[in-house]
Structure 1
């Protein structure tokens, strides 16, 4: 049976949660005064949860971080606050293609954000119908732009070019940002070295086995502690833990600092993914700082079928090795082969062995094999994508 996704704040806990007869267990995000501080999974009995019965689970999960959060709240202190800092204006960019139902859910969520003068920009990347255009027009205040070059990174680059404000915050069309999402991202641009901020993304629903498997295998949330990544503190080629493209923001000037997103990477190209993590690596290699901010919360609708989930995991495998290939041949990062070997020996191979032995908590073998297949294809897919782009440019230049 499915897993209920719940959102509870410690300062306003109900005594009982009912209406859960369709579920056997619940995935619960725990907050303190709106701030995400932990997550738990608990059983559901007879369609309800007696909250007092799950207190021990909550305490064991959130106690370390809750102490820090409570003290900071009591003192009214935040390390991100600067006396002379004012929030920059932002452009919110949603890159979409043929998903009007998801896009409507995302736009409805963005309508709940406090009005701080932000603009909302929808980049329609080669949708096959005009449904997305009509949907955006129904909101009135949202800018719609059609990008006729297929590829998510082409849409991202168009957003950077079209944005009118200092910060460009990206959300996927299948994501649902929290009302405090944008402000949480913006408050971290308090240093000129911070060129990018990523946020925490939780599952919007866990209605199918495939969605649950995806959340266990490749969660978008990267923990409940704020982190700063720089060349001095983090391996710049290992960017998987920094964040995800569904929840990230950049200074608009990033395109002048390190260039545009590589159009040979990510969805809509043979590489299928990797554009966000390659860009993170390029920022770190250029000496900039990336901040992971868990308060910048968004919810993501994972793929609902096994076919879609396996395709996504395969795409992630392709994307990792594709962006590593780019770093090797373009950025001349000669440590890539060692990084690939280390990942296989220390993580991928042990995970396969644990799955074959059916160890508790092991990942599905089908997903592990699917990812490895993608990794093998990754370098060649990047070269294929580059050749395709070159042919297209030659074709257009001849006219």
Structure 2
């Protein structure tokens, strides 16, 4: 299955949709008054080019779009932050051996409204491909972090980047023009230590990309939310945002410490880095703002093997966090989270064994999650040992 990805204003729609050859449908981001408000899928075999496009999109739109549309129709103004002062800030991109993705990311960053300082952190490079690429962008700073691991690179970014706020995006993501400014507007409240934004699919060219988007992707909804420990359990801090699209106040590291180098990509724990950082912020009484207008676009993993590894890694990272919380922070609530996981996952595994219909994937999601969970504790111990030796 292949879906074209479209970004459309519902107030200024084209007369009809072009149907690219080889595509089954269109995955559409819908905007109202320029704001991302919802999404819809148009299947080309059901699309009628003679019928009004607005009517067909409206029928396919999700509830978030209709909530935004209804709010506008009754004259309500969306509650949006109006900061009294924009803090000084910069953007950091942590990367490793993906110059093609990085080029697209840097081109997008340099096309944004306003030009922040941009820092590229090259994590344990094997070649000089990244250095050669960044040399083509005179305004972009380049530093090397020789110790492998995403959080080593993020901590280097905190040391090297300029400003009170450091915004992070992945090398395989592209920012919307207002991404940076929309992140920054959320820091007027001194208790907001981090902000995250909406991430949409950059492409849906493969079955794996479509499957990841169907599973939820990096979406966190189209409504702005301020998270604290009352709104969300700190162990569910992933709900506040994803590592592909967030910013942190430099002072946050003084409050809760730096990113844990024993978590994240490039370690035996595989993932969990920003989730752990968000968890510690919420547990310490601080807030995280989620703002869907801080929009960027992510190139999802293209192969089923990569998707399976991604699902495995997320669960491995989750259990690495539980191991850290229980054994190194003496947090008994980690046991409750483990029991909750078992109550959900064991029935899922049983259903998986008994299922009659194929879910369309060449692997079992519950099995991949169980494998990741079982590897998480040992992976965290191994990653901690490697971090100390680095």
Give the TM-score normalised by structure 1. Answer: 0.91
| Residue pair 1:266, 1:274 contacting (<8 A) in 2 also | yes
Partner SS state of residue 384, structure 1: helix
Closer/same/farther in 2, CA of residues 302 and 60 from structure 1, 3 Å limit: closer
Pick from 54, 57, 62 the counterpart of residue 56 of structure 2.
54
Are 1:26 and 2:26 counterparts? yes
Pick from 274, 296, 320 the counterpart of residue 322 of structure 1.
320
Pick from 100, 120, 123 the counterpart of residue 125 of structure 1.
123
Partner SS state of residue 297, structure 1: strand
Superposed CA deviations along residues 266-324 of structure 1, whole A, max 9, x for unmatched, are 11110111001000000011110001111111111011111111111111110110112
Structure 2 distance, partners of 1:191, 1:132, is 37
| Residue pair 2:238, 2:278 contacting (<8 A) in 1 also | no
Pick from 269, 273, 279 the counterpart of residue 281 of structure 1.
279
Pick from 355, 358, 363 the counterpart of residue 357 of structure 1.
355
Q: CA deviation at 1:331?
A: 2.4
| Residue pair 1:153, 1:265 contacting (<8 A) in 2 also | yes
| Residue pair 1:18, 1:48 contacting (<8 A) in 2 also | no
Closer/same/farther in 2, CA of residues 218 and 272 from structure 1, 3 Å limit: farther
Structure 1 distance, partners of 2:36, 2:21, is 26
Are 1:141 and 2:144 counterparts? no
| Residue pair 1:4, 1:207 contacting (<8 A) in 2 also | yes
- What pairs with 1:179-328 in structure 2 (closer than 5 Å)? 179-328=177-326
Task: Quote the RMSD (CA, aligned, Å).
Answer: 2.3
Are 1:9 and 2:9 counterparts? yes
Q: CA deviation at 1:89?
A: 2.1
Partner SS state of residue 238, structure 2: coil
Closer/same/farther in 2, CA of residues 56 and 389 from structure 1, 3 Å limit: closer
Closer/same/farther in 2, CA of residues 208 and 260 from structure 1, 3 Å limit: same
Closer/same/farther in 2, CA of residues 237 and 327 from structure 1, 3 Å limit: same
Structure 1 distance, partners of 2:319, 2:118, is 33
Q: CA deviation at 1:113?
A: 0.7
Residues 355-364 or 294-303, more deviating:
355-364
- What pairs with 1:74-85 in structure 2 (closer than 5 Å)? 78-82=79-83, 85=84
Structure 2 distance, partners of 1:113, 1:251, is 21
Pick from 48, 65, 69 the counterpart of residue 66 of structure 1.
69
Closer/same/farther in 2, CA of residues 234 and 52 from structure 1, 3 Å limit: closer
Q: CA deviation at 1:244?
A: 0.7
Give the TM-score normalised by structure 2. Answer: 0.93
Paired position in structure 2 for 1:99? 98
Partner SS state of residue 133, structure 1: helix
| Residue pair 2:112, 2:178 contacting (<8 A) in 1 also | yes
Paired position in structure 2 for 1:374? 372
**Which runs of 5 or more residues in structure 1 are unaligned?**
394-399
| Residue pair 1:37, 1:65 contacting (<8 A) in 2 also | yes
Q: CA deviation at 1:14?
A: 0.9
Q: CA deviation at 1:66?
A: 2.1
Q: CA deviation at 1:256?
A: 1.2
Superposed CA deviations along residues 205-233 of structure 1, whole A, max 9, x for unmatched, are 11111111122225101111111111222
| Residue pair 1:21, 1:47 contacting (<8 A) in 2 also | no
